[in-house]
């Protein structure tokens, strides 16, 4: 019997629990590509899945982990052959399909993208779903015509994974970046990534007015709830807000005022089911538009057992930047 090391989530009457164990190759799910997983990462959703704090996992047993980078071992898919270096993020990986926190994964080849030239597997997962989502948000703002001459862009949840990559991307593209954080001690870190102004989290998290002073042309919001409402209220005429997260709550207690009186647009960002053309474009742009030195400064590396410790920590907002997981 062939086995591989993996984090496994089981559900019993006592609840859900995660542990590191040996997983039987025969228990892998259907797929036309088998990948030797080399790197993964810990995203906010992974924290929810591993700790069981939200119903992210919808099949048991489950190998969690929503994204990985690795080498194709076997393939019957026309696009992929053994030795190809591939990325998978989203598509239900770690939710409905056995995921990334194991040395082996068998998946649908249609979900994969090639690792962009010049990018290492470690860098791909230092970016991971969080960085990919930040890139989708930047692309959405740009599609809406938000350019550096229109004014600054605010990033909420700034010291987190999506926030950190978003700041580095926006700064490299020439935007003036305002970083909103609940960790003022991270000001030097955020300024090193490219932020030029820091706004305290509490300034945006308390209920505010339907319209506020026009402060930013664009926003990338990872927090949701009253924070997103205040971000909308402070957006300049004709500006746009890319909403991608719920770290502060899933609700949105806003009014129509920013939309009908200032022509502000709310742009939804989803990384999971993102179709292949924008998916591949985002990964290509991450290879060129993200400063690798800054990516390195925001990344900490752990091994597979460390996932069990990092999962609750990311939910508590104690992780700065990105965590990359060396598998195997
Ligand atoms: P992180 O935990 O790394 O970052 C979240 C940040 O939000 C924290 O670092 C903290 O930043 C801030 N924060 C945490 N709790 C609160 C709170 N209660 N109120 C206000 N701010 C808070 O997570 P990620 O960056 O990986 O993900 C961020 C969000 O984006 C998550 O909600 C995640 O589910 C979502 N997401 C969505 C995707 C999509 O496809 N739409 C894909 C990836 C992520 P600070 O300390 O600086 O204030």
Question: Is the Cβ–Cβ distance between 185 and 317 less than 8 Å?
Answer: no
Residue pLDDT, tens place only, 61-111: 999 999 999 999 999 999 999 999 999 999 999 999 999 999 999 999 999
Q: Alpha-carbon distance 224 to 232, whole Å?
A: 11
pLDDT tier, 328 (very low <50, low <70, confident <90, very high otherwise): confident
- Does ligand 1 lie within 6 Å of residue 270's CB atom? yes
What's the gap in Å between 269 CA and the centre of ligand 1? Answer: 14
Which pLDDT value is given to residue 190? 98
pTM of the model as a whole: 0.98
- Does ligand 1 lie within 6 Å of residue 107's CB atom? no
For ligand 1, pick from 41, 44, 159, 195 the residue to mutate: most ligand atoms within 8 Å of CB. 44
- Does ligand 1 lie within 6 Å of residue 267's CB atom? no
Q: Take atom 15 of ligand 1 and give the residue whose Cα is closest.
A: 247
pLDDT tier, 138 (very low <50, low <70, confident <90, very high otherwise): very high
Atom nearest to 201 CA in ligand 1: 48
For the chain, what is the radius of gyration of the CA atoms?
Answer: 20
What's the gap in Å between 133 CA and the centre of ligand 1? Answer: 11
Which pLDDT value is given to residue 235? 98
Q: Give residues with Cβ within 8 angstroms of 142, minimum separation 6.
A: none
What's the gap in Å between 94 CA and the centre of ligand 1? Answer: 19
Domains and CATH numbers, the chain: 3-115+298-326 (3.90.180.10), 129-268 (3.40.50.720)
> Nearest Cα to 295, choosing from 59, 163, 126, 174?
126
């Amino acid at each position: 019997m062939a086995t591989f090391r993996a984090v496994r989530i089981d559900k019993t009457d006592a609840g859900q629990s995660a542990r590191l164990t040996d997983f039987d190759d025969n228990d892998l799910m259907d797929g036309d590509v088998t990948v030797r997983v080399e790197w993964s990462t810990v995203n906010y959703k992974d924290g929810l899945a591993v700790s069981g704090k939200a119903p992210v996992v919808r099949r048991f047993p489950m190998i969690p982990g929503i994204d990985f980078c690795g080498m194709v071992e076997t393939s019957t898919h026309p696009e992929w052959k053994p030795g190809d270096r591939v990325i998978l993020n989203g598509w239900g990986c770690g939710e409905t399909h056995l995921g990334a926190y194991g040395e082996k994964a068998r998946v649908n080849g249609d979900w994969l993208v090639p690792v962009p030239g010049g990018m290492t597997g470690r860098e791909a997962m230092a970016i991971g779903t969080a960085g990919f989502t930040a890139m989708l948000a930047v692309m959405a703002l740009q599609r809406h015509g938000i350019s550096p001459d229109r004014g600054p862009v605010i990033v909420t949840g700034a010291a987190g994974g999506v926030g950190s990559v978003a700041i580095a991307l926006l700064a490299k593209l020439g935007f003036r970046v305002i970083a909103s954080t609940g960790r003022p001690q991270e000001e030097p870190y955020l300024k090193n990534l490219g932020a030029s102004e820091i706004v305290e989290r509490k300034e945006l998290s308390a209920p505010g007015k339907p319209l506020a002073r026009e402060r930013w042309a664009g926003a990338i919001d990872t927090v949701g709830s009253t924070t997103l409402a205040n971000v909308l209220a402070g957006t300049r005429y004709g500006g746009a807000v890319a909403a991608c997260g719920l770290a502060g709550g899933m609700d949105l207690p806003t009014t129509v005022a920013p939309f009908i009186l200032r022509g502000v647009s709310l742009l939804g960002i989803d990384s999971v089911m993102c179709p292949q053309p924008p998916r591949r474009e985002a990964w290509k742009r991450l290879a060129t538009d993200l400063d690798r030195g800054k990516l390195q400064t925001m990344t900490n590396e752990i091994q597979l057992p460390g996932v069990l410790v990092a999962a609750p920590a990311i939910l508590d907002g104690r992780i700065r930047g990105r965590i990359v997981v060396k598998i195997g």
